[in-house]
Amino acid sequence: MTDARLTDAEIIGVRDRLEIRALVDSYAFSVDSGEHERTAGLFAADGELRIFERGNPVAVRERIGRAEIAAAMQGLSRYELTIHFVGNHRSEIDGDEATGETYCVANHVRTVDEGGGPDGRSNYVMHVRYLDRYTRTDEGWKIKQRHLMLEFTEDRPVTGP
């Protein structure tokens, strides 16, 4: 019979993966709750957020440092509601650095002049992949670099409450 106990290194690896996944989930929750400073605090002090559109190798927007990232998050206040649904996630850890990829469907409810539901509301849906670099800091794992890769978008009429 084999010994099924984990080594200390394996336990640390499992803990690191869980902490990184919690970091990814915390980003979605803090964005949706409008906690801009908290969202920025999930990044390293010199963290980077870059937004790319499919097929364009040059970032269409770039924010460096927590202050710029927090300011960028305030732009989401133009929506009545956002819901970021985080799905697939994988990460590779190498000591105090890691990389990761996360799929996300980001819903943004807004009022539009045309194409909305009965009350004029529309859901601007972004299908994105986050390509991340993480770093372990004294505060725990942080996002060092996030490349938001916008794969495609949809506009859907909104019905209901």
Give the separation between CA 124 and CA 110, rounded to whole angstroms. 8
pLDDT value for 149:
98
Nearest to 107 by CA among 130, 129, 124: 124
Give the separation between CA 25 and CA 31, rounded to whole angstroms. 10
The secondary structure of residue 58, as a DSSP letter, is: S
pLDDT value for 93:
97
Q: State the burial class of residue 150 (Cβ atoms within 10 Å of its Cβ: 0-12, 13-18, 19+).
A: middle
* Residues in the chain, total: 161
Domains observed in the chain: 8-157 (3.10.450.50)
Look-up of token digits 């927090």: 70
Give the separation between CA 157 and CA 27, rounded to whole angstroms. 26
Q: What is the pLDDT along the chain (161 residues), one digit of tens a residue?
A: 567 898 888 888 899 999 999 999 999 999 999 999 999 999 999 999 999 999 999 999 999 999 999 999 999 999 999 999 999 999 999 999 999 999 999 999 999 988 888 889 999 999 999 999 999 999 999 999 999 999 999 999 998 77
Give the separation between CA 159 and CA 92, rounded to whole angstroms. 41
Supply 31's token pair. Answer: 């964005």
